[in-house]
Structure 1
């Protein structure tokens, strides 16, 4: 297969051609797409693997009938180990021998066994953590495609994904480990700090809700009952207050116009007072 040249200036899907300089246009216009043989040779030199997801050409294409044999010929000519080339298309899967089989859709474990598939290539939106763990438990490797963000790469890394495909390898190359991993000392510090803050919040809420009870206990009033408090208040009243109460009681009886010789004796602390119908004597 000879290299094919694609002129990007024939169509401008992203409307960015006008922003390029003349030098950039010349350099981009001379770029070519490498052949399948060159790509497989590059993978062999880098000790890498190749995933073939080739579609059958349309009927008017000159390779419409021979595309399958041309692909196998390219693999053989490149000199790469067949174990490093994974076959994805469902077309003519039974005729492919010696190449690991893969699929680019989510399949049940029964379908995977029937087709002899050993790996799956799924878009990241279709690869859940549960599915990944289930496939890995049955020795089915999973490759997740369209992984360009470091956070997504970290999530899949922790999920146990075998490999990922990306349009931004220069970004993922700078992520040597999941981005949210922390050292043991940092984890211990955050753990202890969160525990102490939680304890302080619980104590603060308890004190706020029981403020009056705590204040009553700390004042020492818990040693008195209500009867003792009332008696203490009465005993602390001054003699003047008691005399005023006595006078109010006497004059209230006079106003009622009592005709009987009823005597009312009041015995204050320092003397006595006697009231009778005839008068008032001290």
Structure 2
């Protein structure tokens, strides 16, 4: 089999350009380089976007909730987007690999029109995703630099590896370029290489999981509406399942019924019962917009668990036994009094939000319910900012949590409860040095929990208590001295390999040049001899 018909060449040529036979045409070679650059840029863009999507996976319920409020139908829309972008990223990266293989084999870079169309469609879909986050979910952008505080050291290792592999193509272009272009290639390559090799000098100051001394204590777990991955949120089954996770506090949401009974429900305002109950089946002709539209007796006629089995929001229903599924299907909306009794039995704290347009009267009824339950006041972590001073006077034993630093400082408090993306790791460390308790919500992924653990967070509110409970140490953590040693060794190994590749390619090019010169002189000598022979004849 000839070299042009080898299996590797035919497959690479066919998959990239759909030309299974080598063409003798040469008129499109310059456009091939342009399309190669486009493939490279789209691949890098898709990889970066896929990274952002995976980082945002911690907050996937925000996206699902926003779509639910529009369509009134609960589906894991974020997972659908993840699958779409994963397909686009895989396609772009494979196309780039085939392009690099074409270069390595000396084949032409004639990208097929079908690939060109597909790349433009992929870029459009990614651009729509970026616009969607920028317009509708802007608060998610700070999560990206936050994630780099734990992934950057390992991304640097990957970047060094990629740089080493790509250096062969850079050196080949350098040797074939004219002198002016050689200077440009050299400057760009050296600058990029220096930035990649030396960035750990900055990283070790900004990555808390590169540990210099002792690791902080593991953050405590607050069960977000119980254990919503294991049972329907804000049900007694969910809170019971969270006890097995070792949570130190129940996090929930409190509303009041028409007859002034505090009950647990997160959704509020329009269609507040639609997502987590069968209200449409029980009251098919009635639209409820407020918790005070129903009495406690009417609320108890609703099923608060069947939706969990039907929609399977966390893909965890398959892990339940038939008996557990039956228990799920029989869940009712619990009252605050029921939760307080459970918390008192297990010595677990309770922290909650109040969703109500009438904060003053609702706060009064909720405080009375808490006092009547007989629970230890220190187990109540009071979060609602409205009527806080009145609550302090009526129930002095409550522990007060604040949702912003300014209010906490002005009120002389030392317990903070905020979204994890609103505090940098340095700020967390500063607050902990001032003996401020810091709880961060909602933390579901191991990488994020690891980062906040390294930063010294006191506790986190989580949907996945069963996942975080089993962590004995942070993921991606490493002793600073060990990291510095690995970093130096990786950089030296990469540098030596690139020097070797440069020398090899230069010698190979010189050898080919000498062979070409020798062939040229041989042909000239044969031509001269032929001319002399003809002249003598």
The interval holding the TM-score normalised by the smaller chain is 0.5 to 0.7
- Which residue, out of 277, 281, 286, partners 1:8? 277
Tell whether 2:405 aligns with 1:107. yes
Normalising to structure 1: TM-score of the pair? Answer: 0.55
Q: Which runs of 5+ in 1 are unaligned?
A: 212-282
Following the alignment from structure 1 to structure 2, what is the Cα–Cα distance between the partners of residues 70 and 28? 30
Following the alignment from structure 1 to structure 2, what is the Cα–Cα distance between the partners of residues 82 and 154? 32
Following the alignment from structure 1 to structure 2, what is the Cα–Cα distance between the partners of residues 74 and 176? 38
Deviation at 1:65, TM superposition (A): 5.7
- Which residue, out of 14, 29, 46, partners 2:346? 46
Deviation at 1:92, TM superposition (A): 1.0
**Are the equivalent residues in 2 in contact too, given 1:41–1:78 (CA < 8 A)?**
yes
Deviation at 1:183, TM superposition (A): 8.5
**Are the equivalent residues in 2 in contact too, given 1:101–1:116 (CA < 8 A)?**
no
The equivalent of 1:276 in structure 2 is none
The equivalent of 2:46 in structure 1 is none
Following the alignment from structure 1 to structure 2, what is the Cα–Cα distance between the partners of residues 18 and 174? 27
Alignment of 1:205-220 (within 5 A): none
Tell whether 2:363 aligns with 1:68. yes
The equivalent of 1:33 in structure 2 is 333
Deviation at 1:95, TM superposition (A): 1.2
The equivalent of 1:157 in structure 2 is 453
Alignment of 1:204-243 (within 5 A): none
**Are the equivalent residues in 1 in contact too, given 2:439–2:457 (CA < 8 A)?**
yes
**Are the equivalent residues in 2 in contact too, given 1:136–1:142 (CA < 8 A)?**
yes
Alignment of 1:68-217 (within 5 A): 68-97=363-392, 98=396, 99-104=398-403, 106-108=404-406, 111-181=407-477, 190=486, 193-194=489-490, 197=493, 200=496
The equivalent of 1:58 in structure 2 is 357
Following the alignment from structure 1 to structure 2, what is the Cα–Cα distance between the partners of residues 50 and 30? 24
Following the alignment from structure 1 to structure 2, what is the Cα–Cα distance between the partners of residues 174 and 162? 17
Q: Deviations over 1:183-222 (max 9, x none)?
A: 99x87984785476378569869999xx9xxxxxxxxxxx
Q: Which runs of 5+ in 2 are unaligned?
A: 1-260, 266-272, 282-306, 318-322, 508-537
Structure 2 counterpart SS, 1:32: coil
Q: Deviations over 1:8-28 (max 9, x none)?
A: 23469x9984889xx999765
**Are the equivalent residues in 1 in contact too, given 2:417–2:440 (CA < 8 A)?**
yes
The equivalent of 2:301 in structure 1 is none
Q: Deviations over 1:48-75 (max 9, x none)?
A: 22213223x335xxxx764223222232
Structure 1 counterpart SS, 2:343: helix
Normalising to structure 2: TM-score of the pair? Answer: 0.31
Following the alignment from structure 2 to structure 1, what is the Cα–Cα distance between the partners of residues 336 and 380? 12
Structure 1 counterpart SS, 2:344: helix
**Root-mean-square deviation (Å):** 4.2
Structure 1 counterpart SS, 2:363: helix
Q: Deviations over 1:250-280 (max 9, x none)?
A: xxxxxxxxxxxxxxxxxxxxxxxxxxxxxxx
Following the alignment from structure 1 to structure 2, what is the Cα–Cα distance between the partners of residues 84 and 15? 30
Structure 1 counterpart SS, 2:462: coil
Q: Deviations over 1:158-200 (max 9, x none)?
A: 010000001121221222220123599x879847854763785
Q: Go from structure 1 to structure 2 and tell me whether the alpha carbon gap of 1:181 and 1:15 turns closer, same or farther (over 3 Å shift).
A: closer
Structure 2 counterpart SS, 1:45: helix
The equivalent of 2:188 in structure 1 is none
**Are the equivalent residues in 1 in contact too, given 2:428–2:438 (CA < 8 A)?**
yes
**Are the equivalent residues in 2 in contact too, given 1:100–1:118 (CA < 8 A)?**
no
Q: Go from structure 1 to structure 2 and tell me whether the alpha carbon gap of 1:65 and 1:126 turns closer, same or farther (over 3 Å shift).
A: closer
Deviation at 1:88, TM superposition (A): 1.2
Deviation at 1:37, TM superposition (A): 2.1
The structure, 1 or 2, with the larger RCO (C-alpha pairs under 8 Å, 6+ apart) is: 2
Structure of higher CA gyration radius? 1
Structure 1 counterpart SS, 2:439: strand
Following the alignment from structure 1 to structure 2, what is the Cα–Cα distance between the partners of residues 15 and 82? 33
Q: Go from structure 1 to structure 2 and tell me whether the alpha carbon gap of 1:177 and 1:78 turns closer, same or farther (over 3 Å shift).
A: farther
**Are the equivalent residues in 2 in contact too, given 1:8–1:29 (CA < 8 A)?**
no
The equivalent of 1:260 in structure 2 is none
